[in-house]
């Protein structure tokens, strides 16, 4: 399985695994099974009515299944979610509606010859792209399962009696900043890459107007815990 390294809009380097053709075929078959089951259900429903209009409306979800789910599920369909793969922009950013529609419009060509065109394109292109991916500027990547990371780290639970370290976090950081820190720390844990963490540290120190002597990892962890502390205090205040 090949890899692709990209710099995000925040100038953070992330290394992705390109989804294998087996995973993509399996995801397609799962989606096909869901669509077949739905079509059978609709056929049964329509057997009890003679309304052409109702039939047309009920079949629309089949036509728009893939673009609808990929938009609502941020680059995934039920099949892709089951196989833990996701559509992203080539730059590593979340897939856009225009890219989703381009992939969908070209899917009839991709799946000509029993999917032979799509399979050939995936095999021959460096980033495993079918024609729809090439047109939409997208890649399909494998999501990595990080059970230990999720349980021990990602939530950053604030223990009872915790005292925040950096008061400026309360007014200067937003959820998007914390999400970015989480992503950078995840990348560091997965790939042992320190450079992105150092970059985001510099950004956060400038934003908070501080210069901490803590280690980079400890500093970033502390920012997240401080943010969660202030969020929990705000939620408690709102409840009262």
**Do residues 72 and 113 share a domain?**
yes
Ranges 168-172, 190-194, 221-225: which has the least confidence: 190-194
Domain that residue 217 falls in: 147-239
Most confident of 12-21, 146-155, 229-238: 12-21
Q: How confident is the model at residue 50 (pLDDT cuts 50, 70, 90)?
A: low
> What's the rounded Cα separation, in Å, for the pair 74 and 30?
18
Domain end point (choices 117, 142, 167): 142
Alpha helix positions (H), 106-211:
107-110, 112-124, 131-136, 147-149, 169-172, 175-191, 195-208
Give yes or no for residue 143 having a pLDDT over 70: yes
**Do residues 126 and 225 share a domain?**
no
**Do residues 19 and 87 share a domain?**
yes
Give yes or no for residue 131 having a pLDDT over 90: yes
Q: CA angle, corner 99, sides to 31 and 91, nearest 5?
A: 110
Q: What is the pLDDT of residue 102?
A: 95
Total-model pTM: 0.58
**Encoded tokens for 143:** 């999501």
**Do residues 127 and 154 share a domain?**
no
**Do residues 44 and 101 share a domain?**
yes
> What's the rounded Cα separation, in Å, for the pair 101 and 157?
40
Give yes or no for residue 149 having a pLDDT over 70: no
> What's the rounded Cα separation, in Å, for the pair 128 and 25?
13
> What is the sign of the dihedral through the CA atoms of 20, 3, 98 and 110?
negative
Domains of the chain: total: 2
**Do residues 36 and 64 share a domain?**
yes
**Encoded tokens for 89:** 């922009």
Query: Which has more pLDDT, 153 or 174?
Result: 174
**Do residues 39 and 151 share a domain?**
no
Q: What is the pLDDT of residue 6?
A: 58
């Amino acid at each position: 399985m090949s890899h692709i390294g990209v710099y995000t809009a925040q100038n953070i380097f992330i290394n992705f695994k390109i989804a294998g053709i087996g995973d993509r075929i399996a995801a397609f078959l799962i989606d096909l099974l869901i669509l077949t089951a739905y079509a059978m259900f609709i056929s049964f429903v329509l057997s009890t009515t003679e309304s052409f209009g109702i039939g047309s409306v009920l079949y629309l979800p089949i036509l728009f299944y893939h673009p609808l789910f990929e938009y609502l599920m941020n680059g995934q369909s039920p099949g892709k979610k089951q196989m833990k793969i996701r559509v992203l922009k080539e730059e590593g950013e979340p897939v856009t509606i225009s890219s989703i529609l381009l992939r969908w419009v070209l899917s009839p060509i991709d799946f000509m010859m029993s999917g032979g065109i799509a399979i050939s394109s995936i095999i021959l292109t460096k980033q495993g792209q079918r024609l729809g991916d090439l047109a939409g500027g997208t890649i399909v990547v494998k999501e990595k399962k990080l059970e230990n990371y999720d349980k021990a780290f990602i939530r950053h639970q604030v223990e009872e009696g915790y005292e925040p370290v950096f008061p400026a976090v309360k007014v200067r950081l937003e959820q998007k900043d914390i999400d970015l820190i989480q992503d950078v720390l995840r990348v560091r844990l997965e790939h042992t890459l320190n450079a992105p963490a150092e970059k985001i540290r510099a950004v956060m120190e400038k934003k908070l107007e501080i210069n901490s002597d803590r280690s980079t990892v400890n500093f970033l962890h502390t920012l997240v815990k401080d943010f969660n502390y202030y969020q929990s205090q705000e939620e408690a205040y709102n409840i009262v």
